[in-house]
Structure 1
């Protein structure tokens, strides 16, 4: 009755008993000594004593009888002790319930993909995410992937801004502040219409490309890859007239099958079995390649991201050429 009367008076006065005050009270009650309780709580003796007196003031009743030998609970203190333990236990159960709910809620990782990314690579990221959904992360949470279309340049900006967890970028690109890992690499070749004279060759030399225009993606999408491939072409004597490529497959096919002297440069994994198109390798040792690199902010310590990167590292292909990749027609990657 005393504790009920005291708490009712406390409620009417508008005071607030804090959980930390109950924790302090419980420690003193269990130790029976202010100094030992202060040591247990990593507090100074005067600070703990002040907190106990504030709690007594809030509740309107003395909780301890103080003596030279220690501190003994009063009737009000004896009444409060089981209630304090119950309140602290309830708070701990609430904390654990919230943690369990957070662990059960899937972590969403945003992954950027450029135009023309090989479908096999996207599936590899998806499969790694599926494994994390089944087993959870180091933090205990499941994880799933949300893909977002973005050029290499856009992904770099979004990685820097923190609104992209992982990027699949067309190399080369600036890597300051990033963790990186090559996840796809294969040589680029020539794509032409089946009616094009070059389609009859087993391999196309740079000399064979004289007079041909090149369907190519805008430089601002992936400046490093754009310049690197054109540098290889020019170094081998072919300085093509560029025609802007389109991200729409139908437009891309129309550009290549218009009957004009025009070609595209792509990796084999980006050309399907469309009866109107063929892919031919470039002859020689100095030929361009497509390299896709996974990139993330080096400062990002998210356990789900780290485990996704580890899963990709375990399953990445040999660096010379990815094999078994499904074929899909797209413009050159940006």
Structure 2
């Protein structure tokens, strides 16, 4: 059975807003004040809505009212309808003006997510611009806090930053990046004992403190003693160090598309906790509808990419 608002009569959104305001307040007089109209005018609008739908929405008493079953259904379903209508209106208005979204990202985490999200977003907001900055995790958090960035795509820091909110895009498992000439390439998968006494290539501690803490903490929990052979300032230098044979590195599986032929990615069992790739924004920007649309496209791209790479 279709909900009431999907029947033959197409209700006006203005009438729906009036009904929802009254239903939420539980009092027509209070709702009328909130809507900036008189009580009789609001009552007439609700009656008009009932006439259009052909069903009673309120059970009226002497000084109060309650919702009928149809009214309760319309309240629940109508909220979602108004949200979608508001989003559509915003998209139409936003398409007429330019907006720039400054995005900090990590290439090793966003491959397969960022590009398709930007393509889909540009179709919804053709006049909006997206400025990309390849940054470390520390630089991204600082960029948000200082107002230099509007959005970041990275792994949330272990220590919560109160003014930043995060939306999960994708979870990624870990792999071991091994030079092709390394003895470990002969193994189908690697375990903690295979990493014991190995030379380790790792992101540097200052710019990637959470990565450093996670890797070293997991090594300690597994009884692995590894020597840090190279600290890198980004994914490009990390890949170059592994390719040059300086050591092995723990990386997320998403990095596979960036790996050259002279490096092999090996499964790792048991796994450290999976990496949670997320989009972060300042709390005060949470109501920016254009940024919200971009985050939705990032989420959609993350889901599609995950199913594509796991099937």
How far has the Cα of 1:102 moved from its partner? 8.8
Number of the residue aligned with 1:108:
100
Q: Secondary structure of 1:220's partner?
A: coil
Distance 1:101 1:122, change over 3 A: closer
Number of the residue aligned with 2:173:
187
Q: Secondary structure of 1:292's partner?
A: strand
- Alignment match of 1:163 (pick from 148, 152, 156): 148
How far has the Cα of 1:259 moved from its partner? 4.9
Aligned residues of 2:117 and 2:301 also touching (Cα < 8 A): no
Aligned residues of 1:129 and 1:144 also touching (Cα < 8 A): no
Between structure 1 and structure 2, the one with the greater Rg is 1
1:221 aligns with 2:207: yes
Task: Please list every run of at least 4 consecutive aligned residues from structure 1 whose deviation after the TM superposition is greater than 4 angstroms.
Answer: 100-103, 251-254, 257-260
Q: Secondary structure of 2:173's partner?
A: strand
- Alignment match of 1:322 (pick from 275, 281, 306): 306
Distance 1:171 1:297, change over 3 A: closer
Alignment of 1:1-334 (within 5 A): 104-134=96-126, 142-173=127-158, 174-242=160-228, 243-245=230-232, 247=234, 249=236, 252-259=238-245, 262-272=247-257, 274-284=260-270, 286-300=271-285, 301-317=287-303, 322-324=306-308
State how far apart, in whole Å, the 1-side matches of 2:108 and 2:182 are: 23
State how far apart, in whole Å, the 1-side matches of 2:291 and 2:93 are: 20
Distance 1:130 1:258, change over 3 A: closer
Aligned residues of 2:114 and 2:298 also touching (Cα < 8 A): no
How far has the Cα of 1:133 moved from its partner? 1.9
**Structure 2: segments with no counterpart, 5+ residues:** 1-91
State how far apart, in whole Å, the 2-side matches of 1:302 and 1:280 are: 42
State how far apart, in whole Å, the 1-side matches of 2:142 and 2:245 are: 39
Larger CA deviation: 116-125 vs 161-170: 116-125
State how far apart, in whole Å, the 2-side matches of 1:314 and 1:278 are: 29
TM-score, scaled relative to structure 1: 0.57
